[in-house]
């Protein structure tokens, strides 16, 4: 009798061990299955990201070829050239978006943006005023901008020199601006985010009204009631204004949960064997 009881207890213990092992194995299998699904999703995202980069690179190459091998880069998409037909690719050089191959494409002539070198102070001030700046804030900005770039350590009335940027003890750089992003340390974050898309480091010193995007009409001094004249004519002499040969190009790809953008400067070569140059490429 005692032996039977002992055997039953052993069997019960063995059964519990088997149940515990089965439960543990089930948990492990469930975790492995979940991890496999995550790995599959990650692999799919990596694949789609790679395909998106290939699509952007391919579209960039074909766009540059069509842009630089036709009169488009010389006369723009709105110019009527008798006897010569060419693909315009985009509706204008003011940043309008067009579908190109399997991406979205926009081209902005650099003369339509606010340049930092030469400094288009008038348009820049208008841009700041549109974003809430008053005369006192403009003075503060210009003092800080000059202190940021001059070589001395003398602080202007509303300026800042080394030691005044508490979180950045090595600022200011005391040299000419190297990137547009440096303004983020001088201007309030929300204002910088609002104006940075319309700034270019090296431009033309003034806005060409014909190539100014609509958000810059006020900064360019364009009367919105008469803005249609800027679609095909310059502000100065009433004639057609040719593109400058410097373009900010943006390509966008969206498919299967992947959104990828590529931006670069396309510069026409002058007095060189190379017909064009590509600079400041970035993917975001």
pLDDT tops 50 at residue 232 = no
Report the C-alpha gap between 169 and 162 in whole angstroms. 7
This prediction has a pTM of 0.78
Looking at residue 59, what is its pLDDT?
A: 94
Q: pLDDT per residue over 54-96, tens digit each?
A: 999 999 999 999 998 888 988 888 887 676 778 889 999 999 9
Residue 70: phi and psi, rounded to 5, are -130, 170
Report the C-alpha gap between 108 and 197 in whole angstroms. 11
Residue 254: phi and psi, rounded to 5, are -135, 120
pLDDT tops 70 at residue 1 = no
pLDDT tops 50 at residue 243 = yes
pLDDT tops 50 at residue 125 = yes
Looking at residue 110, what is its pLDDT?
A: 95
Q: pLDDT per residue over 149-185, tens digit each?
A: 998 888 889 888 888 888 887 888 889 999 999 999 9
DSSP E strands: which ranges in the chain?
98-100, 103-109, 114-117, 199-202, 246-255, 258-268, 276-283
* 200: nearest Cα among 212, 214, 185, 217: 212
Crossing angle of the two packed helices 135-149 and 121-130, in degrees rounded to 10: 130
Looking at residue 8, what is its pLDDT?
A: 61
Q: pLDDT per residue over 250-273, tens digit each?
A: 999 998 888 999 999 999 987 778
Other Cβ atoms closer than 10 A to 166: 7
pLDDT band with cut points at 50, 70 and 90 for residue 126: very high
Report the C-alpha gap between 111 and 223 in whole angstroms. 18
Q: 53 or 238, which is more confident?
A: 53
pLDDT tops 80 at residue 240 = no
Looking at residue 56, what is its pLDDT?
A: 95
* 107: nearest Cα among 72, 80, 71, 79: 72
Looking at residue 233, what is its pLDDT?
A: 44
DSSP H or E run through 145: helix 135-149
Residue 225: phi and psi, rounded to 5, are -70, -30
Strand-pair category, 103-109 with 114-117: unpaired
Q: Is 247 helix (H, G, I), strand (E, B) or coil?
A: strand
What is the DSSP secondary-structure string of 32-71? HHHHHHHHHHHHHHHHHHHHHHHHHHHHHHHHHHHHHTST
């Amino acid at each position: 009798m005692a032996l039977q009881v002992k055997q039953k207890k052993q069997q019960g213990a063995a059964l519990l061990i088997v149940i515990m092992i089965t439960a543990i194995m089930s948990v492990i299998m469930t975790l492995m299955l979940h991890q496999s699904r995550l790995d599959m999703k990650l692999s799919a995202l990596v694949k789609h990201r790679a395909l998106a980069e290939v699509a952007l690179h391919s579209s960039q190459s074909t766009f540059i070829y069509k842009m630089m091998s036709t009169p488009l880069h010389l006369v723009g998409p709105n110019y009527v050239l008798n006897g010569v037909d060419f693909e315009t690719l985009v509706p204008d050089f003011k940043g309008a978006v067009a579908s190109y191959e399997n991406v979205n494409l926009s081209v902005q002539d650099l003369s339509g943006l606010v340049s930092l070198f030469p400094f288009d102070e008038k348009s820049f001030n208008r841009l700041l005023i549109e974003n809430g700046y008053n005369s006192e804030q403009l003075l503060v900005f210009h003092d800080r901008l000059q202190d940021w770039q001059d070589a001395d350590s003398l602080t202007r009335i509303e300026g800042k020199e080394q030691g005044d940027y508490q979180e950045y003890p090595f600022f200011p750089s005391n040299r000419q601006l190297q990137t547009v992003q440096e303004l983020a340390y001088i201007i309030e974050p929300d204002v910088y985010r609002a104006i940075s898309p319309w700034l270019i480091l090296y431009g033309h010193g003034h806005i060409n009204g014909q190539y100014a995007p609509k958000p810059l009409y006020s900064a360019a001094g364009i009367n919105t009631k008469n803005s249609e004249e800027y679609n095909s004519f310059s502000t100065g002499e009433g004639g057609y204004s040719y593109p400058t040969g410097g373009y900010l190009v943006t390509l966008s790809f969206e498919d299967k949960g992947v959104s990828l953008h590529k931006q670069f400067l396309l510069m026409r070569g002058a007095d060189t064997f190379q017909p064009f140059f590509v600079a400041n490429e970035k993917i975001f």
